[in-house]
């Protein structure tokens, strides 16, 4: 009987020992096969190359966006092709950002003076060239006279990729519509025309662009995070003119869009194409 008890003790001891050895071996194999975990860097190292003013490696805050990296690199050159950039995209450590040049390394020509532009498509031209990067335009938003004019055809496009509102609609106390647009989302010219004013409005609109369409119509694009055009610059319908933001009197990123005709406010819904 005593011998039997020793046998059971030795049997279970061997089982426990074998189980312990297997557990340690299995744990080691599991840790070996696990992918390395990325550490949370308080700062990021990013390399910016290509069509920027000052290529190089920059140390950025961990919450920085693509627009911050481009600003650190001195902004885009006039010949840069930034049509596909998401300026609000987050950065990651050791990222390489390559900004391509336009075809033939040249900027597209300015629009010539025209009163007979071809009909505009009802889809914004996402391949439109991106002008020199400016995160915050410091010039005054006072309207300036321009030597040239560019006349639109009155066929308005949506100035955003979205087709719905995230805020106030048009009313007697709100002479525009608040279109849903994330921080850094592209903003397009609703029709061809000449940039009449651009800059920090100082009265609630924040960073503002106004386009004179040369046919009695004018459009305003407010609360921008990026202004990509200059006063007296000709633009065509669907061209990238800036990026959505929340500057000025704003509670969150969106585009405040206004339309006037001969100086009188017009309901933007009345000029947009049918869905």
pLDDT in tens, the chain (275 residues): 555 556 666 766 677 677 667 776 666 666 555 544 444 557 888 888 888 788 888 888 888 888 788 888 877 776 777 666 777 778 888 888 888 877 644 433 333 333 333 333 333 333 333 333 333 333 445 566 788 889 998 889 999 999 889 989 999 999 999 999 999 999 999 999 999 999 987 889 999 999 999 999 999 999 999 999 999 999 999 999 999 999 999 999 999 999 999 999 999 999 987 65
At residue 154, the pLDDT reads 86
At residue 130, the pLDDT reads 36
Residue 107's CB is within 10 A of a number of other CB atoms, namely: 16
Show Cβ contacts of residue 2 under 8 Å, excluding neighbours closer than 6 positions. none
Show Cβ contacts of residue 68 under 8 Å, excluding neighbours closer than 6 positions. 60, 61, 91, 135
Tokens of 43: 């700062």
Domains of the chain, with CATH numbers? 43-103 (3.10.20), 110-275 (2.70.70.10)
Cα 248 from chain centroid (whole Å): 18
CA distances from 149 to 194, 196, 260 (A): 6, 10, 17
Residue 106's CB is within 10 A of a number of other CB atoms, namely: 10
Report which of 182, 70, 72 is spatially closest to residue 131, judged by C-alpha positions: 70
Show Cβ contacts of residue 100 under 8 Å, excluding neighbours closer than 6 positions. 50, 51, 80, 81
Strand partners, 157: none
At residue 273, the pLDDT reads 79
């Amino acid at each position: 009987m005593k011998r039997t008890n020793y046998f059971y003790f030795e049997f279970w001891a061997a089982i426990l020992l074998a189980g312990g050895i297997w557990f340690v071996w299995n744990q080691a194999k599991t840790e070996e096969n696990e992918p390395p975990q990325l550490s949370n860097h308080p700062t990021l190292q990013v390399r910016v190359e290509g069509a920027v003013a000052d290529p190089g490696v920059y140390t950025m805050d961990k919450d920085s966006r693509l627009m911050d990296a481009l600003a650190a690199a001195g902004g885009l050159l006039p010949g840069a092709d930034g049509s596909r950039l998401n300026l609000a995209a987050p950065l990651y450590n050791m990222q390489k950002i390559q900004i391509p040049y336009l075809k033939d390394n040249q900027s597209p020509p300015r629009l010539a003076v025209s009163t007979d532009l071809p009909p505009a498509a009802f889809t914004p031209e996402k391949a439109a060239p991106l002008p020199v990067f400016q995160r915050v335009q410091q010039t005054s938003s006072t309207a300036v006279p321009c030597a040239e004019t560019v006349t639109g055809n009155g066929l308005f496009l949506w100035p955003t990729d979205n087709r719905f509102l995230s805020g106030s609609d048009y009313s007697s106390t709100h002479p525009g519509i608040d279109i849903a647009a994330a921080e850094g989302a592209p903003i397009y010219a609703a029709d061809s025309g000449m940039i009449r004013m651009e800059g920090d409005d100082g009265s609630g609109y924040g960073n503002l662009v106004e386009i004179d369409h040369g046919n009695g119509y004018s459009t305003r694009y407010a609360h921008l995070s990026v202004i990509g055009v200059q006063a007296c610059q000709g633009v065509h319908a669907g061209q990238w003119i800036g990026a959505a933001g929340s500057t000025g009197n704003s509670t969150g990123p969106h585009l405040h869009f206004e339309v006037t005709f001969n100086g009188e406010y017009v309901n933007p819904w009345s000029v947009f194409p049918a869905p």
